[in-house]
Amino acid sequence: MAQRTVTTIPATISKYTAAPIDSKARRKVAGYARVSTDHEDQVSSYAAQVDYYTKYIKGREDWEFAGMYTDEGISATSVKHRLGFRKMIDDALAGKIQLIITKSVSRFARNTVDSLTTIRKLKENGVEVYFEKEGIWTFDSSGELLLTVLSSISQEEARSISENTTWGQRKRFADGKVSVPFKRFLGYDRGEDGNLVVNPEQAKTVKLIYKLFLSGLSYKAIAKELTNRQIKSPAGKDTWCTSTVKSILTSEKMKGDALLQKKFTVDFLTKKQVKNEGQIPQYYVTANHEAIIDPATFDFVQAEIERRRTGKKYSGVTIFSNRIKCGECGNWYGTKVWHSTDRYRRVVYQCNHKFEHKCSTPHLVEEEIKLAFVTAFNRLYDGKDDRLAILRLVQEEICDTRLLESEQQKLADEMSVLADMVQNCIGENARIAQNQAEYQERYNDLVSRYEAVKAKHDATVEAIQAKRLKAETLEAFAKALRNRDTALTEFDAGLWGTLVEYMTVYGKGDIGVTFRDGTEIRIQ
């Protein structure tokens, strides 16, 4: 019997690239460089990386330069915002790259999951990665193990950096140091001390937004008006968004204050931020910088925002939207366009349910509305001093929240005691064996008592907020009337928005104007 022999037949095709092992074809090689900040020293490092890898790849005869992919000033904790990285991976998967060279694991990714997922995807498509600092080739059998360990270390380093950064930010907040994205923040520039300094030109736009809102326009209508006036948005765009208008109207910085730590980061990898609703401390800095909007006006705007939010559906397309009421059916007047396609075109206001309820109330044109307001205001103005004196008494009587605040505190204390009793009941049941039916009955009784007290507490809080809203409305009304030195000779949109609650059309030539202090002046 012949002697048994084994002959080795060498591999001739790469199991990763499917190319002949002895092939003289040049390998398509790309470089990847990234720095995470825009600091000067990092910029020089970035330029050095690009120059080094470009020359390094082109200097190899067996390599074909497939391009240099870069991300400048971008964190590596996630690939989401790394456009250069994502383009490189797409090109590699499309067969344009066979080998990627980068400085180190931390330059590639500080997220272990992202790093390994990307490497495996590339490997499945015959693309290798070489990490020069660690000397890792991902096609090596030990490559993935080393990569896992080093990526985990890199991820922990990123966590440590993130925690240190967060600590520093929160320390600055606790010290009352204010910082805003000045390039996209309307109304203020960065001063020499780093604090906010009023930008006079931009402040005009801020004041205009508040004026338009108080005249009755909605966020959407204000955004449209600003766009039509060709005023640039905070981001320098030609078109305004309703969210931008709302943020300006609700930003306490416009009245010179600053609320710090409105949001916080919940995941250092994704950089996801959420609204701070009590999870971590906030800091309110009063009189931090010069105000653009005086505090009384700002507070009135917040009250008006709340009134529109909690009341009937608010339109605000024009300053007269949701402000003219039908005296017969009680519904609002809306705009209607007559003869929209010819030279007799005009806009009128009439009851939105005129034909449904067969209302006989007449339509109005804008000039009639303005004239009615001017007439009503001048009658109001005639008794200005007496009206202001009455208003002070009304404010003292119906806007005092001291008793309600005392009741709220009592209920809050009772809630705290009941919450402790519930926790003690649960803890006792966990430590001591007892009749479960009796425990459940006692537990249900405590929870019911707590919920009943909480309902009273919430109702008291709502009552306090309602009184404060009324107080702010009346104070704005009194201020506008007090500051007026003469009767009106023409329509004033600002006074209309500040003073008028609504107008009621009772009949032809019969209009009532109800002011925010509850006074109705009937014009016939």
Is a pLDDT exceeding 50 seen at residue 21? no
pLDDT of amino acid 24: 56
Structural domains counted in the chain: 3
pLDDT of amino acid 164: 54
End-to-end CA distance of the chain: 130
pLDDT of amino acid 286: 78
* CA dist., res. 475 & res. 452, Å (int): 35
Residues 157 and 186 in one domain: no
Of residues 15, 12, 16, the one with CA closest to residue 99: 16
* CA dist., res. 96 & res. 503, Å (int): 71
Reported as a single tens digit per residue, the pLDDT across 430-463 is: 788 888 888 888 888 988 898 999 899 989 988 8
What DSSP designation does 332 have?
B
Residue pair 248/254 in contact (Cβ under 8 Å)? The answer is: yes
Does any domain span residue 194?
Answer: yes
Residues 370 and 501 in one domain: yes
Does any domain span residue 69?
Answer: yes
Residues 40 and 77 in one domain: yes
Which tops the pLDDT comparison, 350 or 430?
350
- Residue ending a domain, among 103, 127, 161, is 161
Residues 301 and 214 in one domain: yes
Residue 301: CATH number of its domain: 3.90.1750.20
Residues 281 and 374 in one domain: no
Is a pLDDT exceeding 80 seen at residue 497? yes
Reported as a single tens digit per residue, the pLDDT across 127-143 is: 998 888 878 788 876 66
The residue written with tokens 């730590």 in the block is 261
Reported as a single tens digit per residue, the pLDDT across 236-272 is: 889 999 999 999 998 888 888 877 765 545 554 455 6
Does any domain span residue 348?
Answer: no
* CA dist., res. 469 & res. 300, Å (int): 8
**Structural domain harbouring 498:** 365-523
pLDDT of amino acid 13: 45
Is a pLDDT exceeding 80 seen at residue 80? no
The residue written with tokens 């009245």 in the block is 255
Dig out the tokens for 53 from the structure. 């890898």
Of residues 127, 81, 134, the one with CA closest to residue 106: 134
Residues 286 and 150 in one domain: no
pLDDT of amino acid 41: 45
Residues 515 and 447 in one domain: yes
pLDDT of amino acid 230: 92
Q: What angle do CA 322, 324, 330 make, to 5 degrees?
A: 90
pLDDT of amino acid 77: 44
Residues 152 and 186 in one domain: no
The region of weakest confidence among 80-84, 432-436, 493-497 is: 80-84
* CA dist., res. 427 & res. 371, Å (int): 71
pLDDT band, residue 416 (cuts 50/70/90) = confident
* CA dist., res. 123 & res. 36, Å (int): 26
Is a pLDDT exceeding 50 seen at residue 14? no
Dig out the tokens for 425 from the structure. 């009941």
Does any domain span residue 248?
Answer: yes
pLDDT of amino acid 97: 94
Does any domain span residue 266?
Answer: yes
- The percentage of the chain sitting over the pLDDT mark of 70, rounded to a whole number, equals 77
pLDDT of amino acid 17: 45
Of residues 96, 301, 121, 153, the one with CA closest to residue 217: 301
Q: What number of CA atoms fall less than 13 Å from residue 139's CA on the CB side?
A: 14
- Residue ending a domain, among 310, 340, 355, is 310
State the DSSP H helix or E strand holding residue 39, giving kind and residue range, or none if neither: none
pLDDT band, residue 18 (cuts 50/70/90) = very low
Residues 373 and 489 in one domain: yes
The residue written with tokens 């949109």 in the block is 493
Is a pLDDT exceeding 70 seen at residue 39? no
Of residues 78, 92, 88, the one with CA closest to residue 126: 92
pTM: 0.51
pLDDT of amino acid 209: 92
- Residue ending a domain, among 310, 336, 353, is 310
Does any domain span residue 101?
Answer: yes
Of residues 458, 474, 423, the one with CA closest to residue 307: 474
What are the phi and psi torsion angles at 17 (to 5°)? Answer: -105, -10
Does any domain span residue 489?
Answer: yes
pLDDT of amino acid 28: 93
Residues 380 and 517 in one domain: yes
Q: What number of CA atoms fall less than 13 Å from residue 234's CA on the CB side?
A: 22
Residues 145 and 199 in one domain: no
pLDDT of amino acid 73: 60
3-state secondary structure of 75: coil
Is a pLDDT exceeding 90 seen at residue 151? no
Residue 43: CATH number of its domain: 3.40.50.1390
The per-residue pLDDT of the chain, averaged, comes to 79
Residues 186 and 127 in one domain: no
pLDDT band, residue 19 (cuts 50/70/90) = very low
Does any domain span residue 175?
Answer: no
- The percentage of the chain sitting over the pLDDT mark of 90, rounded to a whole number, equals 19
Is a pLDDT exceeding 90 seen at residue 12? no
Reported as a single tens digit per residue, the pLDDT across 221-237 is: 899 999 999 999 988 88
